[in-house]
Chains A and B, each alone.
Chain A
Amino acid sequence: MKTVVLSCFLILVSCFLAEARTIVVCSDCKVKQLTAALDIAADYDTILLKKGTYLSVNTEIKKQVVIIGEGYPVIDGQEKDEVLVVLSDNVVISGLWIKNSKRGSMKDYAGIRVNEAKNVKIINCKLENTFFGIYLSKSQNCLIANNHSKGANYGKSDTGNGIHLWKCDSVKIENNQMEGHRDGMYFEFAHFCLIEKNLCERNYRYGLHFMFSDDDVYRNNTFQNNGTGVAVMYTKNVEMYDNTFQNNWGDAAYGLLLKDISNSIIERNTFTNNTVGVTMEGSNMITFSKNNFTSNGYALKVMANCIRDTFMYNNFTANTFDAATNGELRENSFMYNYWDKYEGYDLNRDKIGDVPFRPVSLYSMIIEQMPYAVMLLRSFTVEILNRAEKSIPGIVPETFQDYAPMMKPNTL
């Protein structure tokens, strides 16, 4: 009994001794600068920044501190270097307004850089005129949430990425808004991440771009009005649910480009008003289900090097072309999709059309080979050719067909 009481007492005392301090920083306080606060802070201290402007050129955070901003204090990098660099684990940065990092082509200057750290949280921050927004390298178990980053308007070559992950693991990115960057989010070697409820719009290149980032999950994100949409490459085990890809216009724009992606699930996403909804190249074993493709130029472009992909329960409505390809598809299956261009019948009333549907029209094959033939879009002759091909198929790839097309749109 005595030992228990003693040990309780000891624990209490040790708690007291280890109590974290709060350092208040403001223009009238004892501590006037963030850098000064960091110098006197110990691990587990809280630095509270009051409203105001604080200079911060390449400020390195080497202690496990919590930095909280009140009323969005401005942290100004004056375009001299990076603004904040986190080098310690368990750092929390919250409620800051990070401004003006340097731009450069030799080094990726960032608003907030996290280097080789664990459990770092960056929440509720605003970033403005930074080259890269939030840059994580070799970090694990971090959280990036509720941030809003607006890149500098210097054009494509002179902006960095909104959120950039390099060799990271288990990072959660949610509720962020990225605009005016080169890529809204860019991941390289980022594994087991969860990307949720983000909005990437008006970025110069891609809304989302990743390579070699296996086992990531994307949910409820919106990618819109980006220069060339979303491009993802060389990755396996990607899961995308309930995302929206819309209004990606342009010569080479697409909603989602999949290049060498395998073993992935793409479910309940919406593709609206893109030049091409989904482009697939060398992508294998992908399951597309319950997606909505509406008002795209092409809903799907599936190249002949895609193998064993499954398309089920998707809706294709009001697209100029439902699908295009450049050869015979191997082992891909299309089932139970709804195509608004389907003209078949359903005699046994099981809501599944009795004749297969071929989404690739002769004309889309022609355009694929002779792009100039786009001049004849919607002409009477093209209509006649398509009809003729439909009644006696000869040129259109035989394997590209939905064997059980739905009569009514699938409810998603």
Chain B
Amino acid sequence: MFKIAKYVVYDILRSKVLIAYSLFLLLVSFSLFSMEENSSKSLISLMSVVMIIVPLVSIIFSTTYFYNAYQFIELLVAQPISRSSILLGEFIGVSLSLLTALFAGVGIPILIYSPDATGLVLMISGFALTLSFISLAFFSSVAMRDKAKGIGMSLMLWFYFSVIYDGLVLGILFSFNEYPLEKAVIALASFNPIDLGRIIILMKMDISALMGLTGAVYKQFFGSNFGIIYSLIIMLFWIILPLLFALHIFKKKNL
């Protein structure tokens, strides 16, 4: 499993796409930090970038990588290696390389310019988002045999989580505005890793506007230790569940 992961990392490092991704992030972070004197303001801008770019790149890169490595996987399947360790090996390899790229692109600038709790939370949720979108990518590429369909599904997933879902939430909130929605809102946030990641970060910085009666509900929940543990567990679910589905399909799949 780890041997496969090692080969995957070598393979990805050769492709240079990842280096471009990490250079791009580095450029964005450095320019954001040097443009604003107030580091918390640049963290907010950086957060917006991370919340859009990181899931997109993670999911598309992993899907295309999976399809490109299809022949390699077929070769491995012919060997006496269990299918789950093949898929997990691929997952670990892709995750390691993308996490390294994210750390180099966003983590290092944060450590230099804003090494506080907010920066740390931003980094952690960036990592969690990367992992959960790789996991989603594996799910869609295992589920679809056709490459175009697989990438299409990945794109749809990204679009759903970053745009459509929030629109749906707005619709739900609008229709049930008269009802007490405290708990419902927390549940709604849990069903989208991007929302969850964003709320955890905002709890650390943008508190003033989040206040008000409803903001207090968020703060009380997500600001507490229980809330932090809760969000970490949910994030973990978002990493593990799609991967488990992918494993389930991959084991039975007729390659």
Instruction: Enumerate chain A interface residues (CB-CB to B < 8 A).
Output: 249-253, 273-275, 295-298, 318, 320-321, 366, 369-384
Q: How far is the CA of A72 from the CA of B177 in the complex (A)?
A: 60
Is B44 interfacial (CB 8 A cutoff)? yes
- B214 to chain A: which residues have CB within 8 Å? 371-372, 374
Q: How far is the CB of B44 from chain A (nearest CB, A)?
A: 7
Q: How far is the CA of A328 from the CA of B177 in the complex (A)?
A: 22
Q: How far is the CB of A340 from chain B (nearest CB, A)?
A: 10
Are B215's CB and A381's CB within 8 A? no
Are A320 and B211 CB-contacts (below 8 A) given A251-B216, A366-B170? Answer: no
Q: How far is the CA of A397 from the CA of B38 in the complex (A)?
A: 32
Which residue from B47, B177, B207, B211 sits with its C-beta under 8 Å from A370? B177
Q: How far is the CA of A251 from the CA of B209 in the complex (A)?
A: 10
Q: How far is the CB of A277 from chain B (nearest CB, A)?
A: 10
Are A378's CB and B177's CB within 8 A? no
Q: How far is the CA of A9 from the CA of B162 in the complex (A)?
A: 96
10 tightest Cβ-Cβ pairs between the two chains A and B: A297-B208, A381-B166, A297-B209, A320-B209, A371-B214, A275-B211, A251-B216, A372-B181, A379-B166, A380-B162
Are A369 and B206 CB-contacts (below 8 A) given A374-B214, A374-B218, A380-B162? Answer: no
Q: How far is the CA of A285 from the CA of B47 in the complex (A)?
A: 41
* Chain A residue, CB-CB nearest to B182: A372
Task: Count chain B residues whose beta carbon lies closer than 8 angstroms to a beta carbon of A.
Answer: 37
Are A375 and B169 CB-contacts (below 8 A) given A296-B208, A381-B163? Answer: yes
- B51 to chain A: which residues have CB within 8 Å? 379-380
Are A251's CB and B213's CB within 8 A? yes
Q: How far is the CA of A375 from the CA of B208 in the complex (A)?
A: 14
Q: How far is the CA of A374 from the CA of B103 in the complex (A)?
A: 30
Are A376's CB and B166's CB within 8 A? yes
Q: How far is the CA of A296 from the CA of B211 in the complex (A)?
A: 11
Is B204 interfacial (CB 8 A cutoff)? no
Are A375's CB and B211's CB within 8 A? no
- A253 to chain B: which residues have CB within 8 Å? 211
Q: How far is the CB of A252 from chain B (nearest CB, A)?
A: 8
Are A375's CB and B209's CB within 8 A? no
Which residue from A275, A318, A377, A380 sits with its C-beta under 8 Å from B163? A380
Are B188's CB and A275's CB within 8 A? no
Q: How far is the CA of A298 from the CA of B208 in the complex (A)?
A: 8
- B208 to chain A: which residues have CB within 8 Å? 249, 273-275, 295-297, 320
Are A380 and B166 CB-contacts (below 8 A) given A369-B177, A373-B173, A375-B218? Answer: yes
Are B185's CB and A372's CB within 8 A? yes
Which residue from B52, B170, B181 sits with its C-beta under 8 Å from A376? B170
Is B189 interfacial (CB 8 A cutoff)? yes
CB-contacts of B147-173 with A (<8 A)? 162-163, 166-167, 169-170, 173
- B198 to chain A: which residues have CB within 8 Å? 377-379
Is B48 interfacial (CB 8 A cutoff)? yes
- A376 to chain B: which residues have CB within 8 Å? 166, 169-170, 195
Are B162's CB and A297's CB within 8 A? no
CB-contacts of B207-239 with A (<8 A)? 207-216, 218
Are A251 and B212 CB-contacts (below 8 A) given A370-B177, A375-B199? Answer: yes
